[in-house]
Structure 1
Amino acid sequence: MMRYEEENERLADRSTCAGVRAELKMCLLESDCCKIHKRTPKDCLLKGGDTVPQDCHVMRNLFFECKRSIIDGRRRFRGPKGY
């Protein structure tokens, strides 16, 4: 899922769900909503409409599930979703 230019390149953010967050951010920045309409990624998620691809909405749900699994007691032993 993660796309890096070099083999040993890593994210500076080591928090849980950082990889999913980075993928969501890159998906939104590459969308027509951010490129053509010059909106912020947050505005694109809230009011993007058809200019945001379905993949970005799927990534948003995956990020939500990952964050929710951090506080879900049943998921603590299984690990966060999205990996």
Structure 2
Amino acid sequence: MPKYYEDKEEDNRACAGIREDFKACLLQHDCVVKDGKLPSECLKEGHCKALQTSFFERSVGEKRFRGKKGY
């Protein structure tokens, strides 16, 4: 369930909602909170995998749809 709400500070970047949920998932996961590991270490272990996949697929799709910049 998404936790991104409209009353937060406005973020016009692509996939702002997924980005916020992904960040919250990592920072609130037991791997970070209880074990004291860095979020990057928890990603390598496979935590929050669904949000990570969704976020990176959408951000790559945006670039692919718009094309390369500077041409």
**TM-score scaled to structure 1, two decimals?**
0.64
**Structure 2 gap segments, 5+ residues each:** 67-71
Q: 1:28 aligns with which of 26, 41, 52?
A: 26
What secondary structure sits across from 2:7 in the alignment? coil
Alpha-carbon distance, 1:62 to partner: 0.2
Indicate the residue corresponding to 2:58 in structure 1: 66
What secondary structure sits across from 1:16 in the alignment? coil
Moved over 4 A (4+): none
Closer, same or farther in 2 for the Cα pair 1:41/1:12, shift >3 Å? farther
Alpha-carbon distance, 1:66 to partner: 1.0
**Structure 1 gap segments, 5+ residues each:** 77-83
Identity across the alignment (%): 33
**TM-score scaled to structure 2, two decimals?**
0.73
Alpha-carbon distance, 1:26 to partner: 0.7
Whether the aligned pair in 2 keeps the contact of 1:25 and 1:41 (CA below 8 Å) is no
Alpha-carbon distance, 1:13 to partner: 2.9
Of structures 1 and 2, the one scoring higher in RCO (CA 8 A, sep 6+) is: 2
